């Protein structure tokens, strides 16, 4: 977990605390995937998987390992193993163009803007995809 926390802190302006990660580990529907390269944990993906609905909760690839298809591989993997989940949701900062590009590549589309989701004047875009 310390490595995930460090990647998170390097990746986001509004970052999770150690307590948020711990709380996530205890939730019934949470699944946590990590990507290991050369014996190093270099990326993580946290999802909530319910019966017919899923949520991409957090995704980050450590600097130095980006643009190598790692986030794509993680997303493709969870869509494949959760073929039963029809609808996926996520929230992403409206100014995080790289991530929005990534999610659009995986057929997420923009649903609505949630004002101040990440704090004062930090809006989120809610996106949805149908896994068919």
- Strands 53-61, 40-49: parallel, antiparallel or unpaired by DSSP? antiparallel
Cα–Cα distance measured from residue 91 to residue 110, given in angstroms and rounded to the nearest whole number: 10
**Residue 121 within binding range of ligand COA, rule CB under 6 A:** no
**Residue 46 within binding range of ligand COA, rule CB under 6 A:** no
List binders of ligand COA among 100-119 (CB under 6 A). Answer: 101-102, 105
Cα–Cα distance measured from residue 64 to residue 107, given in angstroms and rounded to the nearest whole number: 26
Among 4, 42, 47, 61, binds ligand COA (CB under 6 A): 61
Asked if 131 and 90 touch (Cβ cutoff 8 Å), the reply is no
Among 42, 47, 70, 124, binds ligand COA (CB under 6 A): 70
Among 72, 84, 116, 130, binds ligand COA (CB under 6 A): 72
**Residue 69 within binding range of ligand COA, rule CB under 6 A:** yes
Tell me the CA distances in angstroms from 31 to 55, 94, 132, one per residue in order: 10, 25, 21
Give me the residues that bind ligand COA (CB under 6 A), please: 11-12, 59-61, 66-72, 92, 96, 98-99, 101-102, 105
């Amino acid at each position: 977990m310390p490595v995930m926390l460090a990647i998170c802190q390097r990746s986001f302006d509004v970052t999770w605390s150690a307590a948020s990660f711990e709380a996530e580990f205890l939730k019934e529907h949470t699944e946590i995937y990590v990507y290991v390269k050369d014996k190093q944990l270099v990326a993580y993906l946290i999802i909530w998987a319910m019966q017919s609905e899923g949520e991409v909760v957090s995704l980050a690839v450590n600097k130095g390992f980006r643009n190598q298809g790692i986030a794509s591989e993680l997303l493709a993997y969870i869509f494949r193993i959760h073929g039963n989940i029809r609808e996926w949701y996520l929230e992403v900062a409206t100014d995080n163009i790289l991530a929005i590009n990534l999610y659009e590549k995986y057929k997420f589309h923009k649903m609505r803007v949630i004002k101040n989701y990440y704090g004062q004047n930090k809006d989120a875009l809610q996106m949805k995809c149908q896994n068919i």
